[in-house]
Amino acid sequence: MLRTLLALALAIQPVMAADLPDLGEVSRQYFSDQEEQTMGRAIMRDVYADPGYLDDPEIETYLNQLGYKLVSVSTRNQREFNFFVVNDPSINAFAMPGGNIGVHTGLLLSAQSESELASVVAHEIAHVTQDHIARMVASQSQSYWPTMAALALALLAARSNPNVAGAAIASTQAYSIQNQLNYSRDYEREADRLGYEMLTRGGYDPRGMSEFFNRLQRANRFYDSSAPAYLRTHPLTSDRIADMQARSEDAPYQQVENSLDFHLVRARLRAQEDSPADAVRAARNVLKEKRYSSETAARYGLATALIRARQFKEAEAEVQKLLSGKPVHPMIQLLAARSALDAGLHGLALQRYQEGSEAHPGYRPLQYGHIGALLSAGRSNDALTQVDKQLALYPLDRRLWRLAAQTHAQLGHRLLSHRAQAEAAALSGDLIAAIELISLGIKAGDGSFYEISAAESRRREWQDVEKSQRKN
């Protein structure tokens, strides 16, 4: 994400400092809803293209499930959200325009309970629902920003890695931008209060918030001038911690168990660390020494590491143990299918994908794997049936559109393949690529009159949107 900082440093001109607006006022004079959505799409285009983005459907699905559980109990739940994962060991999470919320893998691994993780996510959701970024942008005349694109880059840089962003921006005349993009203490208190309410309504332990920030504050004492990334954009004070603790003390005690999903996601992340051999060794030691909160998750982590190390016989032995538990979790069913596929057992893999898809029809990572396995087996028509069925349910899923593009390409449908690629590009925020791709499809000339007309209509729609964005 930080490769854009040099361009940012050259693009941004001096910015006059201004007081932030009153908390009761959400000004849209310089930052409309449409501009926020445009900025959000521009940011996500860079996020998806960056190697720091963790393209892991299982972890992203879990994070979106947790996030939307909190959104559903928010007082302003009409907003759309998108939760994504950044492969970075630092403890950080950040909210972006358009309801985009990023979480670092370091935060997922450092949270000692699901309630702690939920407390940070709830806090970020509150920043979005309360329009804190819009308020910060509205505190300055838009004439001081060279383009909305430059502002999008500034927000992405400052939010995703404030340590590096601060160092890069300091070398320019735009250092004041860094301060403007850090949340004020008033915003932080407001996000604390609303995040706490989401935690309690969502069934999480409200003490998770004070416990997590207490630990961050203690860790901060060992960092000298380089505070944890989260603290650079979320100023933490003893008053805020005391307020969260006081709220927690007044709440009735309730023991909240961590979900199996939480344990499986963390085990999956650990199994992907270091070399495959080191990951296997670490996972074996966890089981041998019983250093786990969930034996199921520990075995899942070992099986994942064994597949990475291509030790398929040992992986299958662990998979069999996992499959003996009932009901079978969708992440375990997917692991079992992937283990068979990677071992070259295509028939067994397809059987497991079929069983998993039928048992968990709403779990999209299983559907992705099933469609991919059908394509690998050359069963293009079956893959097309599956992908069309899923797109009818989830038409805004960019991963499904990519699979549709592969399916149509395998069937020799050039227009439909390019059209599907274009849809995936548009959903990833890259309208220019979408227009180019769909134009190639129209030129292919192998579609029906209806398919060509639909593609031309879609191209005009994207051209109008892209033209409107360039005016901003």
The residue among 156, 133, 96, 97 whose CA lies nearest residue 20 is 133
Query: What is the per-residue pLDDT across 326-348, written as a single tens digit (0 to 9) for each?
Result: 899 999 999 999 999 999 999 99
pTM for this predicted structure: 0.86
pLDDT at 204 over 90: yes
Q: Which two tokens stand for residue 113?
A: 């309970």
Cα–Cα distance for residue pair 63/122, rounded to 1 Å: 12
- Percent of the chain whose pLDDT exceeds 70: 79
Average confidence score pLDDT of the chain: 84
More confident residue, 230 or 19: 230
Residue 138 pLDDT: 67
Q: Which 8-state DSSP code applies to residue 377?
A: T
pLDDT at 309 over 80: yes
Find the mean pLDDT for residues 428-442.
96
pLDDT at 22 over 80: no
Burial 164-202 (b: 16+ CB within 10 A, else e): ebbebbeebebeebbebbbbbeebbbbbbebbbbbbbbb
Cα–Cα distance for residue pair 259/169, rounded to 1 Å: 41
Residue 23 pLDDT: 39
Distances (CA, A) of 463 to 230, 439, 458: 38, 11, 9
Confidence of residue 282 (pLDDT cuts 50, 70, 90): very high
More confident residue, 102 or 19: 102
Query: What is the per-residue pLDDT across 46-90, written as a single tens digit (0 to 9) for each?
Result: 899 888 899 999 999 999 999 999 999 998 777 889 999 999 888
pLDDT at 227 over 80: no
**Of the candidate ranges 120-134, 169-183, 333-347, the one whose mean pLDDT is the lowest:** 169-183
With both helix axes pointing from N to C terminus, report the angle between 185-201 and 114-129 in degrees, rounded to the nearest 10: 120
Distances (CA, A) of 116 to 9, 196, 219, 452: 36, 11, 16, 51
Residue 425 pLDDT: 97
Q: Which two tokens stand for residue 309?
A: 């190390």
With both helix axes pointing from N to C terminus, report the angle between 398-411 and 380-393 in degrees, rounded to the nearest 10: 150
**Of the candidate ranges 21-30, 134-143, 181-190, the one whose mean pLDDT is the lowest:** 21-30
Residue 158 pLDDT: 64
Residue 8 pLDDT: 36
Cα–Cα distance for residue pair 178/159, rounded to 1 Å: 10
Residue 128 and residue 99 in contact, taking contact as beta carbons nearer than 8 Å? yes
Residue with tokens 């629902």: 129
